[in-house]
């Protein structure tokens, strides 16, 4: 992906409860599994091909319902950086600010 190309859709896995809270608050401010944007500094996201690995690595023992947020990066006002994950050669998108609900184009339950 070159600098001039628009980003493809981004994805974020979260608990259904955290998504419900975001709908009440007007924006999503979770980062990843129990940690907030305020704690981490960004919202962890993935590209489509990385999503199953994220679920397997981070949520393997999670017992509450999960949802997968599909995000339109063009609708995100905060900076999005593609950064390497610690200890891997993979690069993931990170959103450096709150995620507006309008940027979430689809929500799918994960079973």
Q: What is the CATH number of the domain that holds 47?
A: 3.20.170.20
Q: What is the pTM of this model?
A: 0.92
Supply angle C-alpha 70, 94, 88, rounded to 5.
110
Domain membership of residue 59 (yes or no) is yes
Domain membership of residue 2 (yes or no) is no
First to last CA, the chain: 31
Question: 68: domain range?
Answer: 10-110
Domain membership of residue 17 (yes or no) is yes
Query: Could you tell me how many residues make up the chain?
Result: 111
Query: How many structural domains is the chain composed of?
Result: 1
Domain membership of residue 78 (yes or no) is yes
Pairing of strands 66-71, 99-100: unpaired
Per-residue pLDDT of the chain (111 residues; tens, 9 = 90+): 445 678 999 999 999 999 999 999 999 999 999 899 999 999 999 999 999 999 999 999 999 999 999 999 999 999 999 999 777 788 999 999 999 999 999 999 997
d(CA 44, CA 36): 10
> Which secondary-structure segment (H or E) carries 58?
helix 51-58
């Amino acid at each position: 992906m070159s600098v001039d190309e628009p980003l493809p859709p981004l994805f974020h896995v979260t608990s259904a409860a955290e998504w419900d809270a975001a709908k009440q608050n007007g924006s999503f401010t979770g980062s990843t599994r129990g940690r907030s944007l305020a704690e981490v500094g960004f919202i962890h996201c993935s590209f489509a091909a990385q999503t199953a690995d994220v679920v397997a690595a981070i949520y393997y023992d999670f017992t509450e319902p999960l949802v997968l947020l599909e995000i339109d990066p063009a609708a995100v006002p905060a900076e999005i950086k593609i950064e390497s994950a610690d200890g891997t050669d993979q690069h993931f998108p990170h959103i450096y600010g709150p995620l507006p609900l309008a940027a979430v184009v689809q929500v799918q339950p994960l079973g």
